[in-house]
Structure 1
Amino acid sequence: MIRPRALACGLLLALSAGPCFGAQPAASEQRLRHAIDADQPHAIALLERLVNQNSGSLNLPGVKAVGDMVRAELEPLGFDVRWIDMQATGRAGHLVATHKGNGRGKRILLIGHLDTVFEPDSPFQRFVRNGDSATGPGIGDDKGGVVIIVSALRAMHAAGTLRDADIQVVLTGDEESAGAPLDAARADLVAAGKWADVALEYEELIVDGGQDYATVARRGVADWELTATGLTGHSSGVFGDALGYGANYELARILDAFRRELPEPNLTFNVGLMVGGTPATLEPGGARGTAAGKTNIIAERAVARGDLRALTPEQEARARARMQAIVAQHLPKTGATLVFDDAYPPMAPTTGNRAVLSALNQVNADFGLPAMREWDPARRGAADSSFVAADADVLAGLGAAGSGSHAEGETVDLASIPRQALRSAALIGRLARTPR
């Protein structure tokens, strides 16, 4: 990890004798810009090939085919590339590529994903270019990010800055719909995070009002399922000593108490689906439910499913404990249970993460690029970078700029690809020269 004492001068400028702001890039770094500019036809052609190969999370051969395309890009650069089959989790697998450097600099992990939300039955299947923008399924999330990784590494190879760098690239094949069990689906990524000092994640770049933003924090996500039970019988007995309040009132009590008692900054708790009656059930996975009943029957069972998003592990633990305490305060003749299903851990805004952003902004200053600000984590979703945040310093959102993610018409700004590739190539090179 990068330590706070390195913050004083933009972190990595301890490597050079230059000033903290606007230092002249080394000759090898100057070559990065020329290499990236010259590589753009290759980068855009690769993006088109990746986008035109459907790789919906459930299209296992398609995800593997995209992995093979990336393998063909990385092996000539000296990477040892492995395909980790994950069909036991119901998904295709992950691509892990390792470049062995001199072992003296920071170990750097680059994170992206091969899959998209668009399955083969989607009508949105092809890359279409329109001047400096292009549309296509997954073009920004995350095939544009994958192209930026490849373009940066190709430039480093051409400029001679890749040779001594210790790098792992992990491209998951199920970021949009993780395999199960989750521990198995993310075991290889977690292991890479334990190896790394710094992790860079290539989900979409946020651009707002002409300003580029980086991500130093992401909220974690845990799904929850609340089940309330009651005694059923004729509605004339509701609220009475014999039958009590029924499951629907117990469910309503709990959810309303969540609304009133839980709110705090950066914490949200959504109720996505609820059913109640005699009987009432949610299908496995909690995406659909059924209920039956009559106006004169007290509900026997009620179920709700939602998610909890927290910025830090401490905040999540505090919210869970309060939710369980609320659940335990049952109405007469009712019961309730609350079960959590972990999804993404929180990526807290640490000093180390901000140090990496400081280092990136030194790159921006040296190359005459705009400085990048921190993006509000409450306005960003979860991603795979959260799985390594406990072990490495993380900077996220380094992919391509665009709009319409997860929807037909998803668009990427092609001009953002060389800008992001240059930022990454210079930052990775500097990290690789920073002693561990």
Structure 2
Amino acid sequence: MLKEAIYAREQEMLQLLERLVNQDSGSKYKKGVDAIGHMLRQKYEKLGFIVDVATEDVVGNHLIIRHKETVRPGIVIVAHMDTVFPEGTAKERPFTIKGSRAYGPGVIDMKASQVALLTALSALVEMGDEKSYSNVHIVLNSDEEIGSHKSKIVIENVALGKDYALIMEPARANGALVSARRGGGTYTLRVYGKAAHSGIAPEEGISAIEEICYKIIELQKLNGIEEGVNVNVGLISGGEASNVVSPYAEATIDVRITEPHQGTLIDKAVRKVCAKPHIEGTNIELVGGINRYPVIKNDKTESLLAHIREAGKEIGLAIEDVATGGGSDASFTSSVHVATIDGLGPVGGGAHSIDEYLDIPTLTERTYLLAKVIQRLSNKPAMTPVNYTI
């Protein structure tokens, strides 16, 4: 019956997906993200869920959702509403279907996951499975693509004390779930010098570009600091004109770590490199830091994965898992010691590109899997007592 309830909704799911994809919701486009939130809020409230709004001034508001009959939910589910695409992208290349694939900005990362989550809960409500639909506590956040700096505390607070965390990033292209992730962070290095005409009075200038070049070389050397640590200066900018000694330069530094202790190690090293200028007269400013710690595959993860595999077996789906170098909100649930599995969304590819796509058959397939996982986790004894707070 659960399968029929979900598969009967396929066209309805695609129609909602089209609405979501055709609404721009780039992380820095608050109006668009809030429009997505409004659509989803209405849908959840019609199902009997209570939607609390965590308001934000700059990024979109976050939604914290639970059913009105919920008392002590054991599962936290996290799905982000923002995409990487700026305002106007959806108009340029709106939602389209070609064969068995759907295309459009954010279609797989992660608007299809929003549809899958809503539909799974809708089917459970339709079946009257109160034990399952009242066992979930949902966070729909608005700034995942830019680091979840605002929603991190919301996610951690909701996750605290839960037994399980299901993160709705898309499955890998081969259908695998994600059981481990690297951690990392981003820094912005700003260097201030002094402008001068390079032909008339070069001796009066102090080059910010020259200074930042010294720093970039030293930062790239940190790649050898410890196995599993990577540092990449991926963006640089600066200067005013080719005939002007540059008064300002900026670099963006991406850091990846494999083990939790490496966060402190590399943060200290980056700050040491940037602590003092090489060129007298320049000033240095460093902002940012380690934002996401690694998701480690441990005994709790293995136990949760076993339940998901059993749910997959029940519906004829073999579940594989992988580790990945990319970051996600899984870091925040994992950091408060909740068993976490990521990649529970549908299958697709080309995320963050003009070729982003969803494999349409997996929209219902993964929705069915998600519903079965919620059922399975809701019908076993809780691992720990949970105090419900928002």
Settle same-fold status: TM greater than 0.5: yes
Alignment of 1:16-415 (within 5 A): 31-86=1-56, 88=57, 90-99=58-67, 103=71, 107-122=74-89, 123-163=91-131, 165-177=134-146, 182-183=149-150, 185-208=151-174, 211-225=175-189, 227=191, 251-263=212-224, 264-274=226-236, 289-291=238-240, 303-327=250-274, 337=284, 339-342=286-289, 344-351=291-298, 352-375=300-323, 377-378=324-325, 380=326, 382-391=327-336, 392-415=338-361
Deviation of 1:411 after TM superposition, in Å, equals 1.2
Letter in 1 for 2:51: V
Greater mean deviation of Cα atoms: 417-426 or 115-124: 115-124
Deviation of 1:221 after TM superposition, in Å, equals 1.8
The answer on whether the counterparts of 1:157 and 1:163 sit within 8 Å (CA) in structure 2 is: no
Letter in 2 for 1:191: N
Letter in 2 for 1:221: G
Deviation of 1:147 after TM superposition, in Å, equals 0.7
Q: How many residues end up aligned between the 2 structures? A: 374
Compared CA separation, residues 162 and 342, structure 1 to 2 (3 A): farther
The answer on whether the counterparts of 2:239 and 2:248 sit within 8 Å (CA) in structure 1 is: no
Greater mean deviation of Cα atoms: 137-146 or 305-314: 305-314
Deviation of 1:323 after TM superposition, in Å, equals 3.0
Deviation of 1:431 after TM superposition, in Å, equals 1.7
Letter in 1 for 2:233: V
TM-score, structure 2 length as denominator?
0.81
Question: Aligned equivalents of 2:209 and 2:52: distance in 1?
Answer: 52
The answer on whether the counterparts of 1:226 and 1:339 sit within 8 Å (CA) in structure 2 is: yes
Q: Secondary structure at the match of 1:401?
A: strand
Question: Aligned equivalents of 2:228 and 2:313: distance in 1?
Answer: 31
Question: Aligned equivalents of 1:161 and 1:374: distance in 2?
Answer: 31
Deviation of 1:138 after TM superposition, in Å, equals 1.3
Deviation of 1:405 after TM superposition, in Å, equals 1.6
Q: Secondary structure at the match of 2:35?
A: helix
The answer on whether the counterparts of 2:179 and 2:297 sit within 8 Å (CA) in structure 1 is: no
Deviation of 1:385 after TM superposition, in Å, equals 3.0
Letter in 2 for 1:143: K
Structure 2: stretches of 5+ with no match in the other structure: 199-205, 385-390
Compared CA separation, residues 166 and 408, structure 1 to 2 (3 A): same
Question: Aligned equivalents of 1:249 and 1:84: distance in 2?
Answer: 44
Letter in 2 for 1:35: A
Letter in 1 for 2:253: G
The answer on whether the counterparts of 1:92 and 1:174 sit within 8 Å (CA) in structure 2 is: yes
Greater mean deviation of Cα atoms: 310-319 or 215-224: 215-224
Aligned to 1:5: none
Compared CA separation, residues 347 and 152, structure 1 to 2 (3 A): farther
Question: Aligned equivalents of 1:249 and 1:261: distance in 2?
Answer: 20
Compare CA radii of gyration and give the structure with the larger one. Answer: 1
Deviation of 1:412 after TM superposition, in Å, equals 0.7
1:330-389 per-position Cα deviation (integer Å, ceiling 9, x unaligned): 7585877562413632232141233322221122223221121223x22x2x22332332
Alignment of 1:406-425 (within 5 A): 406-425=352-371
Compared CA separation, residues 228 and 363, structure 1 to 2 (3 A): same
The answer on whether the counterparts of 2:222 and 2:230 sit within 8 Å (CA) in structure 1 is: no
The answer on whether the counterparts of 1:66 and 1:114 sit within 8 Å (CA) in structure 2 is: yes
Deviation of 1:148 after TM superposition, in Å, equals 0.9
The answer on whether the counterparts of 1:227 and 1:251 sit within 8 Å (CA) in structure 2 is: yes
Question: Aligned equivalents of 1:313 and 1:229: distance in 2?
Answer: 36
Deviation of 1:226 after TM superposition, in Å, equals 5.8
Compared CA separation, residues 328 and 341, structure 1 to 2 (3 A): closer
The answer on whether the counterparts of 2:77 and 2:168 sit within 8 Å (CA) in structure 1 is: yes
Deviation of 1:145 after TM superposition, in Å, equals 0.6
Q: Secondary structure at the match of 1:370?
A: coil
The answer on whether the counterparts of 1:116 and 1:176 sit within 8 Å (CA) in structure 2 is: yes
Deviation of 1:261 after TM superposition, in Å, equals 4.2
The answer on whether the counterparts of 1:270 and 1:307 sit within 8 Å (CA) in structure 2 is: yes
TM-score, structure 1 length as denominator?
0.74
